């Protein structure tokens, strides 16, 4: 069962968007790195990005049956979306939250995360490497508790 890697609004702009904060890699680069790491770990991976809150909720609902775990960078919806939190809680899947930037070092409005309420853990500030660490954590967890 593949791990679902979800990316929220403006993450399609990666590489062009404030590279001093988010780096020069594109989302396609991040996807390729995730696919390579997942293959190394023996995991499948589904990748999905949307700028629309409802589309992210729909994808999380689908994951309930079809996926083994979720890695999510909800972008700005991290700080605003009770709907995404509710969908993650309803999915009853292991969730790891990722942020490219260190949200706790930035503006106060980025310090609170709704997603964290549903997450096993959060990786922030390590750039795209955070997604790979999340895959490693899930690989170990899924091996310990096969579903």
**Phi and psi (nearest 5°) for 98?**
-125, 140
Q: Which two tokens stand for residue 73?
A: 């960078």
Residue 110 found at the interface with ligand DQA (CB under 6 A): yes
CA distance 128 to 135: 12
Residue with tokens 């083994």: 68
Annotated ligand binding at 10? The verdict is: no
Q: Strand pairing partners for 46?
A: 4
Active site residues: 22, 99
Stretch that binds ligand DQA, among 29-37, 41-49, 74-82, 134-142 (CB under 6 A): 74-82
Binding string, 80-109, against ligand DQA, x = CB under 6 A? -------------------xxx-x------
Stretch that binds ligand DQA, among 34-42, 73-81, 114-122, 133-141 (CB under 6 A): 73-81
- To ligand DQA, the closest distance from the beta carbon of 125 in angstroms equals 8
CA 42-92-5 angle, to 5 degrees, is 45
Nearer residue to ligand DQA within complex by CB, 1 or 9: 9
Nearer residue to ligand DQA within complex by CB, 40 or 117: 117
CA distance 133 to 138: 9
Task: Give the helix, strand, coil percentages of the chain, each rounded to 5.
Answer: 50, 15, 30
Residue with tokens 């190394």: 40
Residues that bind ligand DQA (CB under 6 A): 10, 73, 75-76, 78, 99-101, 103, 110
- Residue ranges for the binding site for substrate? 73, 79, 86, 100-101, 110
């Amino acid at each position: 069962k593949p791990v679902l890697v979800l990316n929220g609004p403006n993450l399609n702009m990666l590489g062009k968007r404030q590279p001093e904060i988010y780096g020069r890699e594109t989302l396609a680069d991040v996807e390729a790195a995730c696919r390579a790491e997942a293959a190394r770990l023996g995991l499948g991976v589904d990748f999905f990005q949307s700028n629309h809150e409802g589309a992210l909720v729909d994808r999380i609902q689908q994951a309930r049956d079809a996926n083994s775990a979720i890695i999510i960078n909800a972008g700005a919806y991290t700080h605003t979306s009770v709907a995404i939190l509710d969908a993650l809680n309803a999915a009853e899947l292991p969730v790891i939250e990722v942020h490219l930037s260190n949200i706790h070092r930035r503006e106060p409005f980025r310090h609170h995360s709704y997603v964290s309420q549903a997450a096993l853990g959060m990786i922030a500030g390590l750039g795209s490497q955070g997604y790979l660490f999340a895959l490693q954590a899930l690989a170990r967890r899924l091996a310990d508790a096969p579903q």
